[in-house]
């Protein structure tokens, strides 16, 4: 395994950082004694240490000095100050992985050094249940082996794709904002179930499990969504009647417009 001899450092043990630590430890990808971490909040760090038995560090530069791979699990607002504090400890063999939303590799490179190996990753909120899609973009100094290390880390909490950084705004619109769109769909399905006589808890369970099961058929069995639709749709049956209503209300166009609008907003927020 590519992580066997690596020590992983986390700067930030909030929701996303802790979810990654959980994934690495529980899948056995990294032993807890090989994970060092720091956080601006002593209480937050203490919780992660107690839960996963990782090694706490009082300062960010301690994390860097004791690690081969450094994961920057901090907000974009404090990233610059974090980079300023660790830049003198970063050397060319370190792999620096940032999950700070909207922050390009170039920005991190400029605040560290020209030789730094920078990888940018965008997971989403489903990292908390080990089902996150994570998009990975590679900096100019990153090798194939470095990329495999990043993939292994994030595949402990879901699935990964490697993309050009220029497509990160599209990732933001699709998988970054996507959980909110799916949540609305699940809620609407459950509302319809309640309208038709189901109690709220039953309707919500059926709606959410239907989404989960359908997604697993696409991902685990490789069934194309169009094929899945055909498997459920019989001539003159209930499903085709429902699909006709979705098309009547512009369901596909609405979903496409939502993802496109979120992507464009990401572009705007990035100042481009």
- Place 269 in a pLDDT band, splitting at 50, 70 and 90: confident
Q: Is the pLDDT of residue 272 over 60?
A: no
Domain boundaries, the chain: 8-168, 176-269
The first and second tokens of residue 47, run together, are 């919780």
Q: Is the pLDDT of residue 1 over 70?
A: no
- Place 271 in a pLDDT band, splitting at 50, 70 and 90: low
Could you give the C-alpha distances from 115 to 90, 145, 214, in angstroms and in order? 10, 16, 44
Q: Name residues whose C-beta falls within 8 Å of residue 181's C-beta, 6 or more positions apart in sequence.
A: 255, 258, 259
Architecture of domain 176-269: Orthogonal Bundle (1.10)
Q: What is the pLDDT of residues 149-191, one digit of tens each?
A: 999 999 999 999 999 999 999 999 999 999 999 999 999 999 9
- Place 4 in a pLDDT band, splitting at 50, 70 and 90: confident
Task: Tell me how crowded residue 244 is: count the other CB atoms within 10 A of its CB.
Answer: 10
Average pLDDT over residues 220-224: 97
> What pTM did the predictor assign?
0.91
Say yes or no: domain 8-168 is CATH 3.40.50.720.
yes
134 in Cβ contact with 157 (< 8 Å): yes
Q: Name residues whose C-beta falls within 8 Å of residue 49's C-beta, 6 or more positions apart in sequence.
A: 37, 55, 56
The three-state (H, E, C) secondary structure of 133-170, written as one string? EEEEEECCCCCHHHHHHHHHHHHCCEEEEECCHHHHHH
Q: Is the pLDDT of residue 270 over 80?
A: no
Q: Is the pLDDT of residue 106 over 90?
A: yes
123 in Cβ contact with 93 (< 8 Å): no
Q: What is the spatial distance between Cα 259 and Cα 65, in angstroms, rounded to a whole number?
A: 41
Task: Tell me how crowded residue 101 is: count the other CB atoms within 10 A of its CB.
Answer: 18
Work out the mean pLDDT of the chain and round it to a whole number: 94
Per-residue pLDDT, 261: 97
Q: What is the pLDDT of residues 72-104, one digit of tens each?
A: 999 989 999 999 999 999 999 999 999 998 899
Q: What is the pLDDT of residues 111-132, one digit of tens each?
A: 998 889 999 999 999 998 999 9
């Amino acid at each position: 395994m590519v992580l066997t001899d690596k020590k992983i450092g986390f700067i930030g043990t909030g929701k996303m950082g802790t979810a990654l630590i959980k994934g690495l430890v529980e899948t056995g990808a990294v032993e807890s004694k090989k994970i060092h971490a720091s956080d601006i909040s002593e209480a937050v760090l203490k919780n992660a240490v107690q839960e996963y038995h990782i090694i706490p560090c009082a300062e960010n530069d301690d994390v860097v000095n004791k690690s081969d791979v450094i994961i920057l699990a901090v907000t974009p607002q404090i990233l610059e100050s974090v980079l300023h504090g660790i830049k003198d400890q970063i050397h060319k063999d370190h792999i620096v992985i940032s999950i700070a939303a909207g922050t390009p590799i170039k920005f991190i490179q400029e605040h560290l050094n020209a030789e730094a190996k920078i990888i940018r990753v965008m997971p989403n909120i489903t990292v908390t249940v080990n089902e996150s899609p994570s998009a990975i973009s590679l900096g100019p100094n990153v090798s194939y082996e470095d990329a495999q290390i990043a993939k292994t880390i994030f595949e402990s909490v879901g699935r990964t794709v490697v993309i050009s950084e220029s497509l990160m705004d599209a990732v933001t619109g699709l998988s970054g904002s996507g959980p909110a769109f799916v949540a609305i769909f699940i809620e609407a399905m459950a509302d319809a179930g309640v309208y038709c006589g189901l109690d709220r808890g039953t309707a919500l369970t059926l709606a959410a499990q239907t989404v989960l099961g359908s997604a697993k058929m696409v991902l685990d069995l490789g069934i194309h969504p169009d094929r899945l639709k055909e498997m459920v749709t019989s001539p003159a049956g209930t499903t085709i009647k429902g699909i006709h209503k979705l098309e009547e209300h512009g369901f596909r166009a609405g979903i496409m417009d939502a993802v496109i609008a979120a992507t464009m907003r990401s572009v705007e927020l990035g100042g481009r």
